[in-house]
Structure formats: C-alpha cells, structure tokens
C-alpha cells in the first residue's frame, strides 16, 4: 500500500513539473527567449562601397553597317544591374552596352559583361539590396573632340539634345547634391576627358541611383567598332562609378 502511494506521489510530481515547464515555454516572455535562442543569425543594415569598374569594355560584334560612325553619333545606351551570387557572399554587376550610328548605314554594335563588384566579409551574407539595383543612361555622342557646352549655350537645351530628349530623374540630381534648376551645377554632370587619344564622355545615369557616372568613348575619329579584344581607339566603356549601396546583412 505504502509502495503504491509513493509511486502515485512520484507520478503526480512528475506530471506537475512537466506541466510547469511547458507553461514557462509557452509564456509570451519565454517564447521570445526561445526565438532569440533559435534565431542565432543577427540581421542589420549597412551602407557599402562597391568597387568601381575601372577597365575598358568594348563590344566587338558588328551587327549592322560598317565599322565607322563617321561623326554621326553614335546613340549610346548602357545599363547596369546588380545581382547577389554565391549564397549572398558576392555582388556582381551585369552590364549591357550598345552604340548605333544615327544615319544610314546605321552601323551597330553591342556587348554584355559580368563583373564582380563586392566581396562580403567572412562570416556574413547579404540577404537583400535595399537601394536601387539598376541604372541606365543614354546619349547622342557628338563627333570626336567636341566641346559639350559652348560659351553662351543654353544648358537645359544642351542637356535635352545630348540625352536625346530623355530627362534625368529627380532623385539622381538629389544624389549628386544639386538642384535641377541650378544651371551652373548642371555643367558638372557632363564632362569630357582624353583617354589614349579618344574623347571620353562622363555622363550620369538618367534612371536609377546605382551608377554615379558612366565614362564612355563614342566616336573615335577612325574605325569605331572593334574586331578583337584590343579596345584601343574603339567605342568602349572606360569606367563605371557607383553610388554607395545599402544592404541587409545576416551572420552566417
């Protein structure tokens, strides 16, 4: 009889302890503790600097016409899109570029490239890119050796013609820290330089705040479309500069 009572008491105590433990686990306070214990991966946002693409990229495929733009443009279009790779430990840029002569015979070339622009620090991975993941631009490249703004020329009209009637998004002006109506500041957005004897046009994106500046050679004054891997004296991307990018990190 005494043995049965002991057995019953032990069983009762066991049930009580089990019920109490379950009640603690299911309480709101302990739920959060458990979730915090299970979710050992901390999450946070951070602004990062991508590696600028500072190398020549030239298309070598003649799609139409001859290899010479002859001072007729070309009309240049370029776009950059970001993608996460290798389980969120790398960021790659997908780049497209095209150049089309503006008159007959409409000589045309285009190209695509993939370039790694960021390695995530060890022990982390990126789960999301929160800022703009793409930018594009377009413009009509004047003849080699041109001067973008002549003395006394209206800035707004020059921009409209140069960008082939496309407006620059307001948020892009804001990223550059200038106001659209500030005509003196507008001049800083488009510049030229000489690179290996060719005129390089530095132009902002017209859409998307990923790219700060595209540096492009349009017309070269000679044969413009490359037929090999040597980009010298050819239509090409010279450099792509990026704005800072905001990402969400997670500890692996």
d(CA 72, CA 77): 15
Least confident of 7-11, 35-39, 227-231, 233-237: 35-39
Closest CA to 203 of 156, 140, 153, 157: 140
Is the predicted pLDDT of residue 242 greater than 90, yes or no?
Answer: yes
Mapped onto helix, strand or coil, the DSSP state of residue 168 is coil
d(CA 15, CA 21): 10
Is the predicted pLDDT of residue 36 greater than 90, yes or no?
Answer: no
What's the pLDDT tens digit per position in 111-156? Answer: 999 999 999 999 999 999 999 999 999 999 887 666 665 555 677 7
Question: Do the Cβ atoms of 57 and 237 come closer than 8 Å?
Answer: yes
Q: Note the pTM of the prediction, 2 decimals.
A: 0.81
> Quick one: average pLDDT of 175-191?
85
Residue with tokens 């495929």: 61
d(CA 74, CA 70): 9
Closest CA to 135 of 190, 78, 90, 58: 78
For 50-89, the three-class secondary structure string (H helix, E strand, C coil) is: CCCECCCECCCCEEECCCCCCCCCCEEEEEEEEEEECCCC
> Quick one: average pLDDT of 85-101?
97
d(CA 69, CA 219): 6
Q: What is the pLDDT of residue 152?
A: 56
d(CA 197, CA 195): 5
Q: What is the pLDDT of residue 15?
A: 47
Is the predicted pLDDT of residue 5 greater than 70, yes or no?
Answer: no
Element (H, E) at 37: helix 28-38
């Amino acid at each position: 009889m005494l043995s049965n009572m002991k057995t019953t008491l032990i069983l009762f105590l066991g049930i009580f302890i089990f019920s109490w433990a379950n009640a603690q686990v299911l309480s709101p306070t302990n739920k959060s503790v458990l979730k915090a214990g299970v979710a050992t991966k901390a999450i946070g946002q951070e602004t990062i600097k991508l590696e600028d693409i500072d190398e020549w990229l030239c298309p070598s495929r003649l799609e139409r016409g001859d290899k010479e733009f002859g001072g007729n443009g070309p009309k240049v279009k370029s776009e950059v899109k970001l993608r996460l790779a290798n389980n969120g430990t790398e960021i790659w840029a997908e780049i497209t570029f095209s150049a089309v002569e503006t008159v007959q015979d409409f000589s045309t070339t285009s190209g695509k490239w993939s370039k790694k622009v960021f390695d995530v620090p060890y022990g982390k991975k990126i789960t999301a890119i929160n800022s703009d993941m793409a930018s594009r631009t377009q413009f009509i490249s004047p003849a080699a050796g041109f001067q973008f703004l002549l003395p006394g020329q209206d800035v707004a009209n020059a921009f409209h013609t140069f960008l082939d009637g496309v407006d620059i998004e307001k948020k892009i002006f804001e990223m550059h820290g200038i106001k659209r109506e500030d005509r003196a500041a507008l001049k800083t957005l488009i510049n030229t330089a000489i690179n290996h004897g060719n005129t390089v046009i530095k132009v902002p994106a017209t859409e998307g705040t990923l790219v700060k500046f595209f540096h492009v050679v349009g017309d070269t004054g000679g044969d413009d479309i490359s037929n090999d891997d040597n980009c010298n004296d050819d239509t090409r991307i010279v450099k792509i500069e990026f704005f800072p990018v905001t990402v969400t990190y997670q500890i692996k």
